[in-house]
Amino acid sequence: MTDTRAPAIVSLERLRASLADPGLDIPLDGAAEHREAAAAAVRQIDDYIRPRLADLDAPLLAVVGGSTGSGKSTIVNALVGTPLTRVGVIRPTTRQPILVHAPADAGWFTSDRILPGLARVRGTLSSPGTPASAAGDSPAASRIHELMLLAHDAVPTSLAIIDAPDIDSVAEDNRALAAQLLAAADLWVFVTTANRYADAVPWKLLDGAAARSITVAVILNRVPPGAVDDVLPDLTAMLAKRHLADAPVFVIEEQPLDDLGMLPAEAVAATKKWLTDIAGDRAERTRIAARTLGGAIEDLDRRVSDIAEARQAQLDWIVGVEAMAATEYQKAVDAVDEATRDGALLRGEVLARWQDFVGTTDFFRKVESWFSRTRDSVTAWVMGKPSPVVDVETQIESGLHAVIVDEGGRAAAATWAGLQRTVAGRAVAERHPELAGESTNFTDDAAAMIREWQGALLQLVRDNAGNKRIKARVLSAGLNVMTVALMIVVFASTGGLTGGELLIAGGSAVLGQKLLETVFGEDAVRRLAAEARRDLQERLQKLFDTERARMTTALETLRFGSAPDALRRESRALLDDVRAAAGSPS
């Protein structure tokens, strides 16, 4: 590795780390494909980009790939001049990738410098006279996750050849390995036949080769005698259409194999010369390596952009689910708030209890003249009056609690229903069945919140009894009486306003208001009511925010992963660093 490439290596490692944890676990449309694309990008970085970026002078890797039955292994054997890899009619024949190299280059391939995910196995050459149908290890002994290394003098130095599995194999593992090997190649020798050259699968891979600017040679194999003039122009036109017009095409006509199952040497002579010429020209090798590396990194940048968009879609989905939950729980807050404004909580038993306490005209009359009497007489009247104020407080607490619990259950059910509308939401719901209803401690939390609010009102009344005269009046009536009166006013008014905007029928709230005004004054009552309502609203918001946060917690692990902007930034930095190392403008 040279100093000029050091920044690119650093950028590459950062990008690899981000791609290794893309955060694409939500089953949105296309997420699985993008997750595999990220994994494939990591493999290509490990298999090809990192080692090639570190050393442009390392031997080139030529991968021989193609469709099932196209004759790849037969051609590899012909290029070397001896049966190295098994051929036959049972598909897939090539189950284990075989890398054949010059003996002097063994050190480049025995380590995990390239294709580190494949274990190395040193193969042995077949005995002279072994037919191609029996060459190499038996299929039963072959393992697809091993790379068999074979050294042979017929392979030129600075070039290695891999016989890859079929790109359209019936075995999924074979197809995946073929794609991995092609992504790790410096150049491709692509084998097709006169019957199958127009198949979709090979051209999809060749489109990828064009996107990577990889050097490609095409072998048109098994061409029937006299059919070259029909097939070759069509094939070259298809290559030109895909920006592969400079790819050499080598034609091998249909012909019998010899007794060992080998093609005659002249059938692959042109292909072998092309490979040998590349291997023997250091400048050309460097040019091919640099071109393929640059193309691979540019193609990686395009793929990273798609992965970043997929990651953004995941984050947007999370935001959408949270917004849906926030909407439902805000509806709950608003519904409880409305129930505390319109007098609904003061109807029925609460109203009856309050009227029992205040009487009707009798209590109002006593309040009018209350503080024109002596303190002793007022105290005697209060002490002698039946005081069911605790019952009123209990009924208010019970009514408010029922409304809160009901809205909490409704919000949870609505949020759950929202999750069930999508595949991704159902996946979250399956992992978090507890979200189907309110939390197990919600009822107790709601009760505790109400008690805390009532305690805060009690303290509010106490704190606003500023001088001795007001304190005396508060003590004469009783703190609980004042607190309940304040709750009555809060629950019967709009926005803490009093007087003509009271909504409760029967004048009961007016009596509570009058009691408070007699003690504190009209402006103070207005302020107390507004503060009491604001305190209740804040406590309600906090209670329901806690419930809503269960969804945030359930989604937390789905947030893990790379940031879309970081993916794009790191990929662009890699491109810029590679161009700078090559002396090109960024």
Which residue in this structure is represented by tokens 């940048």? 301
8-state DSSP, 286:
H
At 387, the pLDDT band (50, 70, 90 cuts) reads very low
Q: Which of 58-67, 194-203, 372-381 has the lowest mean pLDDT?
A: 372-381
At 130, the pLDDT band (50, 70, 90 cuts) reads confident
Calpha distance 337→552 (Å, rounded) = 24
pLDDT in tens, 170-201: 888 888 999 999 999 999 999 999 998 888 88
8-state DSSP, 164:
P
At 391, the pLDDT band (50, 70, 90 cuts) reads low
Give the residues across from 98 on adjacent strands: 148, 163
* Residues 414 and 328 sit within 8 Å (Cβ to Cβ): yes
Burial class (CB in 10 A: 0-12, 13-18, 19+), 152: middle
Give start and end residues of each alpha helix (H) in 100-194: 106-110, 172-183
At 350, the pLDDT band (50, 70, 90 cuts) reads low
Tokens, residue 547: 């419930």
Domain parsing of the chain, residue ranges: 58-280, 340-561
3-state secondary structure of 34: helix
At 390, the pLDDT band (50, 70, 90 cuts) reads low
Task: Categorise residue 14: left if φ over 0, alpha if ψ from -120 to 50, beta otherwise.
Answer: alpha
At 467, the pLDDT band (50, 70, 90 cuts) reads low
Calpha distance 402→454 (Å, rounded) = 16
Specify the pTM.
0.82
pLDDT of residue 534: 92
- Burial readout 450-480 (b: 16 or more C-beta within 10 A, e: otherwise): beebbebbbebbeebbeeeeeebbbebbeeb
* Residues 105 and 218 sit within 8 Å (Cβ to Cβ): no
Run of H or E residues at 419? helix 389-419
pLDDT in tens, 132-166: 777 765 544 457 788 999 999 999 999 999 998 88
Question: Which whole-number Å values give the CA distances from 202 to 70, 179, 249, 251, in the listed order?
Answer: 11, 11, 15, 17
* Residues 161 and 99 sit within 8 Å (Cβ to Cβ): yes
Q: Output the CATH code of domain 58-280.
A: 3.40.50.300
pLDDT in tens, 318-331: 999 999 999 999 99
- The answer for residues whose C-beta is within 8 angstroms of residue 548's C-beta and 6 or more apart is 325, 326, 329, 411
* Residues 247 and 239 sit within 8 Å (Cβ to Cβ): yes
- Burial readout 42-77 (b: 16 or more C-beta within 10 A, e: otherwise): bbbbbbbbbbbbeebebbbbbbbbbbbbbbbbbbbb
pLDDT in tens, 487-527: 777 777 544 444 443 444 345 555 566 677 666 777 777 88
